Structure 1
């Protein structure tokens, strides 16, 4: 291991690989047992949607939280994954599992393309270019209605399969397992990346761009890596969403979904990965619990987010850390 890697892994306040791995496995085990508690299909559907949101939000946190790149075209990458899967399976006849991976590759290529014009841009200019990219993709889909279905979308998209397992009459347990596996792979990929030397250079550029460049960090290369890395599992999440819902619609490019996912990133705590995952579950379940409040639901959710951010600017992760630190202090206090 190089000295740089030693410094990164041994940074003050950073949880060790071993402790993080144990916590990750325990958390994954708890999530895997949820179908034993929630046996009805609708509850499992809510959990599956939370897994999808968690993948998209945590990958957005890589570019927004760690990279400091205001990439407002991130949801377009999700939409690209949705339509790539739909077109590859329904029109090209590609195997759904191959199409799932291919959709992630297509989203990654799209991220590389959108990165080129923003390599030297900062602030509001990045927001404008990436937002314009999202609108451009949506307009292309609408204009090519003979292929994409336009505003009508694409229906009866082939779903995923697990050998001869019946994915329709299994109470959604099959899709639950696939969604959890994809979330686990995505989270492992992101955490390995941010704890690596590449992750350290990404954060260095975010914190002090001029100093990082003077120390040999390439702004062009690292920005390209950041956006491309955040795109693959976002595209895979879009493909899984299309396979699960069995349809593709331009609604995935709407501001409503973008607002929801961005709220998850901010509420969880930027630059944490796990925070976005936790917030995805909290907001998805909370929004479902508030379903009877109708038009008041988004306002109540907004108030919740504001209150948490006012008390804990670092989000839910900061709240959990504060609670854990307080509990640890009381346990260590002599009686």
Structure 2
């Protein structure tokens, strides 16, 4: 049974497992700078960044079936590590980026090795505690992270003598697109690999997977390390792009947002996760009070009357509707969609 489900999981993305669908998506995304609109490119950068983060979390939640509520901790570790490497140790961005990813993988291994014996809510609580610990460290380790004041003036990438500039985000956009493409390539390779099949087997039935000779702790720890590396890589990019860091950018709400992207798109589905990330980033921009007030200008609704946390109300309502009408996600894996459909048919 586990082997059959693993085969279904590997074929879940259909044409999107072949390179042509992704190449078409990347080619279309590469045309966005032709608009010359810096705001749209900024939104595109965040959509690509959160797609990277969501694909990393998808390894744990979608592939391995573990609820990780502290993924933003690795995002923060990568961001602050890159800032320290670039500003304190005067390393270039191109050196700081892989070092931050490696540090994230190391922290993922150290956290995963003792905690992955836990399952369900217990594991989720431990990961949540880890993310809160990262926030406490970044707020109070002033000699390294600059504390509550934030980490200012983070160095920008320099390529062939050209320094990236945030206010002309074209270069950052193509860098984000390159990192996104790398992430998709690695995820597709992992999905169809022996490692990916082991993760899917663990997700479907841990007892059966262990009976088949799969080292549960070893495969879970490896998945945790790889997921953490991609989270830290995204953090390193964010640090250089934003130019400043503050602990408030890595709170629990960001973990919830990334988890919503995975759940909305479809657990374990790479194209689904990307779709969910893009939709929620665009929704987040559209629900900003100033943007929403501009859209409602004919009705005379002032921005001051729109609550800043309206987006969380909308996210919650959307998730409730998703759980009712599309529990497998907008673009689910075929086997996951079939299981939900079977459960719905058998329900009284």
Q: Same fold (TM over 0.5)?
A: yes
TM-score, L = length of structure 1: 0.87
How many residue pairs get matched?
316
1:217-236 alignment runs, 5 A limit: 217-236=214-233
Distance 1:203 1:128 in 2: 23
1:290 matched to 2:304? The reply is no
1:81 matched to 2:78? The reply is yes
1:264-279 alignment runs, 5 A limit: 264-279=261-276
**8 Å CA contact 1:84, 1:239 repeated in 2:** yes
Q: Shift of the alpha carbon at 1:307?
A: 2.3
Sort the Cα spacing of 1:254 and 1:169 in 2 relative to 1 into closer, same or farther, 3 A.
Answer: closer
SS in structure 2 at match of 1:217 = coil
Q: Which residue of 2 aligns with 1:252?
A: 249
- 1:56-105 Cα offsets, whole Å, 9 max, x none, are 11110110111012222211000000000011111111111100110000
1:54 matched to 2:68? The reply is no
Sort the Cα spacing of 1:125 and 1:159 in 2 relative to 1 into closer, same or farther, 3 A.
Answer: same
Sort the Cα spacing of 1:116 and 1:196 in 2 relative to 1 into closer, same or farther, 3 A.
Answer: same
Q: Shift of the alpha carbon at 1:301?
A: 3.5
1:304 matched to 2:318? The reply is yes
- 1:136-169 Cα offsets, whole Å, 9 max, x none, are 2222222211221111120001011222335228
TM-score, L = length of structure 2: 0.84
**8 Å CA contact 2:150, 2:245 repeated in 1:** yes
Q: Shift of the alpha carbon at 1:318?
A: 4.2
Distance 1:52 1:11 in 2: 25
**8 Å CA contact 2:132, 2:252 repeated in 1:** no
- 1:7-52 Cα offsets, whole Å, 9 max, x none, are 9778785456896211111111111112223x22111111101111
Which runs of 5 or more residues in structure 1 are unaligned?
Answer: 321-335
SS in structure 2 at match of 1:156 = coil
Which runs of 5 or more residues in structure 2 are unaligned?
Answer: 293-305, 335-348
1:110-259 alignment runs, 5 A limit: 110-168=107-165, 171-259=168-256
